[in-house]
Structure 1
Amino acid sequence: MNHERHCPATRAFWEDFYRRDARVWSGEPNPLLVRETTGLTAGTALDLGCGEGADAVWLARRGWRVTAVDVSPTALGRAAAHAAASGVADRVDWRQEDLSRSFPAGAYDLVSTQFLHSPVELPTERILRAAAGAVAPGGVLLVVGHAGLPEWVETDPAMRFLSPEEVLDAVGAPSPDWRVVVRDSLRREVSGPEGRSGLRTDHVLKLRRVGDR
């Protein structure tokens, strides 16, 4: 793991976030990742902001060779343990990297960003441009993000929630280089404190780079 290319404040924030609990997330892959990658031919994948590694492990168990990136060593340690317990430790390369400062090299058959939102520094458009540049010819870019947070959650002004149009503009699509396969907005009910409920909208964009794989 690379321990150099990160902003101390960014790392400190996410380390505190993950250290609050023994496990933050469910350990299950994001359903929209499952929906949009089931049926794809396994190849190489880049998982940006991998957290505790559920998406990367799910992909690895289905034959993908995954590079998974996060800024938090605690999250990556849990992710590596998950991969080992699932028998796919040799199929995932865990990398500590702050995407606001640097980006992993290489070209991938799948590049996935799932809910890449942050209350600390995150140049989202620049990261998305880099993500698009990392997709190999014939490969897929999958971007899933919230449209916003439930009404009972106080949103930090620094958090960005890009519209589908803003995502497409950031990656340079539509263009002759990209085919938009899925452009979807899904509303779902979410539960909050004291029995409250509300609706949350998630945007899904799945693009394929034109060219032979």
Structure 2
Amino acid sequence: MTDEHEFAQETLGADFWNERYRSQDRIWSGRPNRHLVAEVEGLAPGRALDVGSGEGADALWLAERGWEVTAIDISTVALERAELHVAERSPEAAERIVWKQADVTEWTPPRGAYDLIGVHFMHLAPEPRKRLFSLLAEAVAPGGELLVVAHHPRDLETGVPRPPRPELFYEGDAVTSVLPAGEWEVLVDEARAGSQTLDDTTYTVHDLVVRARRSG
């Protein structure tokens, strides 16, 4: 077993995330990822895969717009919380979401099954990250899209609190390099600046946004 795999299992594994979700009634804002909204609003709905679905805000936003969503997360606590919240918020949308527990460092998605795959702030070590992105690319149907959002390495220079592990941060080529040449069109590959306030301090942050469409 490699050091990278051990890191993914021990630091980012099910026990870590279940404990984190148990520690608070809500971890995230409850709002969908702003880059998901910007990039996907207006696309014809189809089959979507939400990787690392957390408390379900992105899955709910997609389902409310007609997408049939498979939402996967390593944490059973997060999935139970998300399913309950969505059922209370929108029973109609809840019928369009399948919640699935999976460890993305070991899971293999079905090939060509999804019209949209979104993976947001999935900060794995390089080896499992490359494997994941390669498998997700294969899981996109012809004509479908892959959307990756992550903390950009520039954040390590701004003072915003981030894990002190530079290898967890990456630029667009970490995604685009696994896309077979001639089969994909890269629509977006950029670092988008924004702001984040933590403990009354506002930081400039940079989010990597990569959006690519599979030909077909």
The runs of at least 4 aligned residues of structure 1 exceeding 3 Å deviation read: 6-9
Aligned partner letter, 1:145: A
Contact 1:44/1:110 (<8 A) preserved: yes
Give a deviation string over 1:152-193, Cα, whole Å, max 9, x none.
425242761111122211334xx2100111222211122233
Aligned-partner Cα distance in 1 for 2:17–2:174:
26
Distance verdict in 2 for CA 1:94–1:135, change over 3 Å: same
Contact 1:100/1:121 (<8 A) preserved: no
* Secondary structure of 2:82's aligned partner: helix
Count how many residue pairs are aligned between Structure 1 and Structure 2: 202
Structure showing the higher helix proportion among its residues: 2
> Which consecutive residues of structure 1, in runs of 5 or more, have no partner in the other structure?
1-5
Aligned partner letter, 1:136: A
> Which consecutive residues of structure 2, in runs of 5 or more, have no partner in the other structure?
1-7
- Give the TM-score normalised by the residue count of structure 1: 0.87
Aligned residue number for residue 3 of structure 1? none
Aligned-partner Cα distance in 2 for 1:31–1:196:
21
* Of 5, 15, 19, the match for 1:16: 19
Aligned partner letter, 1:112: G
Aligned-partner Cα distance in 1 for 2:21–2:167:
18
Aligned residue number for residue 93 of structure 1? 98
1:179 aligns with 2:182: no
1:169 aligns with 2:177: yes
Aligned residue number for residue 168 of structure 2? 160
1:130 aligns with 2:135: yes
Contact 1:57/1:82 (<8 A) preserved: no
Distance verdict in 2 for CA 1:160–1:70, change over 3 Å: same
> Between the two proteins, what is the percent identity of the paired residues?
40
Deviation at 1:63, TM superposition (A): 0.3
Aligned residue number for residue 49 of structure 1? 52
Aligned partner letter, 1:78: R
Deviation at 1:38, TM superposition (A): 0.5
Deviation at 1:48, TM superposition (A): 0.5
Aligned residue number for residue 196 of structure 2? 190
* Secondary structure of 1:170's aligned partner: coil
Aligned residue number for residue 80 of structure 2? 77
Deviation at 1:14, TM superposition (A): 0.5
Deviation at 1:28, TM superposition (A): 1.1
* Of 40, 45, 53, the match for 2:43: 40
* Secondary structure of 1:40's aligned partner: coil
CA RMSD, Structure 1 to Structure 2 (Å): 2.1
Contact 2:53/2:73 (<8 A) preserved: yes
Aligned residue number for residue 143 of structure 1? 148
* Secondary structure of 1:171's aligned partner: coil
Contact 2:160/2:205 (<8 A) preserved: no
